[in-house]
Amino acid sequence: MHPCEDVGVAGTENNYDMARKRKSIGGRFNTVTSCISMTLVLLLLGTVVFCTLVAHDFSKKMKENFMVEVLLSDDIPNRDLIALQTELRKKPYARLVGYLSKEKGTKEMAEALQNGPVDFEGFNPIPAEFEIYLKADYANLDSLKRYEPELRKNPYVVDVVYPRDAMESAGYYLPLLGLVMVVIAVLLLVISFALINNTIRMSVYARRMTIHSMKLAGAKWSFIRRPFVLRAMGIGLIAAIIAGGLLGLGIWQLKVLDNVVSSLISPLTITITLSVVFCCGLLLTMCCSWLSVNRFLRMKGDEVMTK
């Protein structure tokens, strides 16, 4: 063979190797970029879901701290006292029913006033009472207005007292806060889908000619889609693991640094947050990859070249 021919063949092989290396490096770069983009999107989505769940738990705990005081007459017999307590514990709105005697109520008032024992000159106007802590679903004015007449019908019930203003404010602001958080979560989910879809579409776009060649060779659409979908789900899984790990670390730091916030973070909240991150990481990437590949599969030859 002529020496010039050897040089030409070697040059062609070198160019082919360089092109293959550039393609390999470009593919890895696109994979890393896609993984980073998805991780950031899933991290933001998980943060919003976590905040929404914590806000819901805060609302529930706040409502469960509302207390209804059932003030009792001084001449209530012990038998009727026990019967009334048993009846109150069976009520659907009662989460916890406690009894506060006249003596204990007087002692608590003295401690609140910080001036020692209270002397009422032989008469103690502080009545005994039942303290009813409400279930979250019943901690609103509408429910209490429904059940309050039943409590007042008892001849030994002097009065029924509960924080009307606080319940009214909670009934207005807490649902509004919950609605805002849900709207933000839904909007972010839509934005996440758009960003992930754009990231995957760019990755698929780089291999549009391969898709078209496989289609011309007679390959089925499902056969062409499969590697793209699996690759996208693999990237989504890696991104979900990284985002879930970062979220878990952040939640652990919150539990360690703030006892108040720690009481609002339940195992269910953590489970739901991480589940949403993993499900979105897999399902969104699968759907976006499916749609992106189908888009190029529907294109004709001239459309593939011009896109």
DSSP letters for 65-82: T-EEEEEE-TT--HHHHH
Give residue limits of the domains in the chain: 28-61+177-306, 67-162
Question: Which of 225, 243, 250 has its CA nearest to residue 282?
Answer: 243
Question: Residue 288 in contact with residue 196, Cβ under 8 Å?
Answer: yes
Torsion, Cα 269 272 273 279, to 10 degrees, reads 180
Query: Please, which pLDDT band fits residue 28 given cuts at 50, 70 and 90?
Result: low
* pLDDT, mean of residues 273-282: 90
Considering only residues 92 and 101, tell me which one the structure prediction assigns the higher pLDDT. Answer: 92
| pLDDT at residue 18, rounded to an integer | 43
- List beta partners, residue 159: 71
Long-range CB contacts for residues 209-218, cutoff 8 Å, separation at least 24: 209/304, 211/293, 211/296, 211/297, 212/296, 212/299, 212/301, 212/304, 215/297, 216/301
Mean pLDDT of all residues in 233-250: 91
- Ramachandran angles phi, psi of 176, nearest 5°: -65, -40
β-sheet bridge partners, residue 293? none
**Whether residue 51 has pLDDT greater than 70:** yes
Bigger pLDDT: 197 vs 252: 252
Q: How many CB atoms lie within 10 A of CB 261?
A: 13
pLDDT, residue 4, reads 46
Q: What is the pTM of this model?
A: 0.69
Looking at residue 246, its pLDDT comes to 93
Which helix (H) or strand (E) covers residue 97, if one does? Answer: strand 94-100
What mean pLDDT comes out for the span 283-297?
Answer: 84
User: Does residue 160 have a pLDDT over 80?
Assistant: yes
Q: Which CATH number fits domain 67-162: 1.10.1060.10, 3.30.870.10, 1.10.10.10, 3.30.70.3040?
A: 3.30.70.3040
pLDDT class for 173, splitting at 50, 70, 90? confident
Q: What integer pLDDT is reported at residue 121 of this predicted model?
A: 53
Is the torsion defined by CA of 282, 284, 289, 291 positive or negative?
positive
Under 8 Å between Cβ of 151 and 162: no
- Over residues 252-266, the mean pLDDT reads 81
Amino acid 259: pLDDT: 77
Q: Is the pLDDT of residue 223 over 80?
A: yes
Q: State yes or no: pLDDT of 6 exceeds 70.
A: no
272-280 mean pLDDT: 91
pLDDT confidence of residue 275: 93
Report which listed range, 100-104, 132-136, 169-173, 223-227, is most confident. Answer: 132-136
Q: What's the average model confidence in pLDDT over 255-278?
A: 85
Q: What is the pLDDT of residue 274?
A: 92
The long-range contacts involving 58-61, CB below 8 angstroms and separated by at least 24 positions, are 58/264, 59/136, 59/170, 59/174, 59/177, 59/178, 60/136, 61/263, 61/264
Task: Tell whether the model's pLDDT for residue 204 goes beyond 60.
Answer: yes
**Residue-level pLDDT at 198:** 81
The pair of three-digit structure tokens given for residue 42, joined into one six-digit string: 């899933």
Average pLDDT, the chain: 79
